Amino acid sequence: MATTSATTMAYLALMAVLITGAAAQTPATAYTNHTVGGSAGWFFNSTTNATSSNFTAWASSQTFSLGDYLIFNTNTNQTVIQTYNETTYRSCSISDSSDNDTFEYAGGGNIFGVALTMAVPLTIEGPNYYFSDAEDGVQCQNGQAFEILVQHGLGLPPSLNQPPPPPYVEPPSPEEGSLSPPVAVAADPPSTDGPKGGANLNWLAIVLTIGWLLLLEK
Ligand SMILES: *[C@@H]1O[C@H](CO)[C@@H](O)[C@H](O)[C@H]1NC(C)=O
Ligand SMILES: *[C@@H]1O[C@H](CO)[C@@H](O)[C@H](O)[C@H]1NC(C)=O
Ligand SMILES: *[C@@H]1O[C@H](CO)[C@@H](O)[C@H](O)[C@H]1NC(C)=O
Ligand SMILES: *[C@@H]1O[C@H](CO)[C@@H](O)[C@H](O)[C@H]1NC(C)=O
Ligand SMILES: *[C@@H]1O[C@H](CO)[C@@H](O)[C@H](O)[C@H]1NC(C)=O
Ligand SMILES: *[C@@H]1O[C@H](CO)[C@@H](O)[C@H](O)[C@H]1NC(C)=O
Ligand SMILES: *[C@@H]1O[C@H](CO)[C@@H](O)[C@H](O)[C@H]1NC(C)=O
């Protein structure tokens, strides 16, 4: 009995580890739009130096994958800088940055407080950094910044990773007027926020079954 009990305990412990692992590694099954800062958006109050949200905490609550978008609900008082260069991110400034690793999605312009929504696609796997360089870096220095780790997920959708199709060239034809027009290929649109995963369940069922068979053998 003692042996059976120990085996059962070991089996249950193993299952707990596997189930936790399966949940943590649940693969993406759809592209997601992540609203930065949640409903509080991407705002900085220059009177109090307060950010509308703790963007680091917000980012750690999300899983980011290629083909997802970050949606910045903001206004012209903040900027949206995307960079792959950690030095640029830490400096809170784009003045020494290069065009090939740093992109400005929303620049303040001359008019303050005009509402803006920016959609930033995630197209490079690995660390991505975001900040506002407005007010000479004061916003960024006070937390208007965050970093994320972009996972492979489903990979880039055709709409983000393929160059436009080559121009249509009419094939030679002896008959005039019988040519069909070029057909536009529709890209897969990202689907709504939704539960991710489910693909691991079959795998989990197999492991559970094998585990029980081993247990019954004892
Ligand atoms: C900034 O914070 C101050 C103090 O809480 C508040 O009075 C002001 O309305 C805020 N400004 C904006 C633009 O939200
Ligand atoms: C924001 O959240 C992070 C992680 O949750 C925490 O370490 C940090 O202290 C928070 N920052 C502020 C200003 O509350
Ligand atoms: C990152 O940017 C800094 C300037 O902000 C530049 O000096 C450095 O060369 C860049 N690093 C890479 C790997 O391009
Ligand atoms: C940007 O260009 C510099 C050289 O101009 C190069 O060293 C660096 O690797 C490039 N970065 C990216 C992300 O392509
Ligand atoms: C935008 O910035 C200007 C100048 O600092 C300030 O007067 C205004 O209250 C800000 N508006 C909002 C909506 O944050
Ligand atoms: C905001 O932070 C900057 C430094 O980033 C500081 O110089 C300034 O005094 C702060 N302003 C307020 C109102 O706390
Ligand atoms: C996600 O954002 C992109 C870019 O704005 C948009 O084309 C797409 O329709 C959005 N998807 C959803 C599900 O809202």
pLDDT by position in tens, the chain (length 218):
444 555 555 554 545 544 444 444 555 679 999 999 999 999 999 999 999 999 999 999 999 999 999 999 999 999 999 999 999 999 999 999 999 999 999 766 678 999 999 999 999 999 999 999 999 999 999 999 999 999 999 999 999 976 655 666 666 555 544 444 444 444 444 444 444 444 444 545 544 544 444 444 55
Residues in Cβ contact with 196 at an 8 Å cutoff, skipping those fewer than 6 apart: 26, 27, 28, 29, 30, 32, 63
Ligand 4 lined by 100 (C-beta under 6 Å): yes
**Residue 198 within any structural domain of the chain:** no
**Residue 13 within any structural domain of the chain:** no
Which residue's C-alpha comes closest to atom 10 of ligand 2?
54
Single-letter residue type at 132? S
Atom of ligand 3 nearest to the CA of 101: 14
The range of the structural domain enclosing residue 109 comes to 31-153
Q: From the CA of 71, how far away is ligand 7's center (Å)? A: 9
**Are the C-beta atoms of 79 and 165 separated by less than 8 Å?**
no
Among residues 80, 67, 1, 7, which one has the least CA distance to residue 31? 67
**Residue 129 within any structural domain of the chain:** yes
What pLDDT shows up at residue 164? 57
**Residue 146 within any structural domain of the chain:** yes
**Residue 186 within any structural domain of the chain:** no
Q: From the CA of 128, how far away is ligand 4's center (Å)? A: 15
Burial of 63: CB neighbours in 10 Å, binned 0-12, 13-18, 19+ = middle
Looking at the structure of the chain, the number of domains it has is: 1
Q: Can you give the CATH number for the domain in which 45 is found?
A: 2.60.40.420
What pLDDT shows up at residue 205? 53
What pLDDT shows up at residue 167? 60
Ligand 3 lined by 91 (C-beta under 6 Å): yes
First to last CA, the chain: 11
**Residue 41 within any structural domain of the chain:** yes
Residues in Cβ contact with 144 at an 8 Å cutoff, skipping those fewer than 6 apart: 42, 44, 51, 55, 78, 131, 132, 134
**Are the C-beta atoms of 84 and 61 separated by less than 8 Å?**
no
Angle between helices 200-217 and 2-24 (to 10 degrees): 170
What pLDDT shows up at residue 106? 76
3-state secondary structure of 104: strand
What pLDDT shows up at residue 110? 77
**Residue 4 within any structural domain of the chain:** no
Atom of ligand 6 nearest to the CA of 47: 13
Phi, then psi, of 111 in degrees rounded to 5 = -105, 125
3-state secondary structure of 183: coil
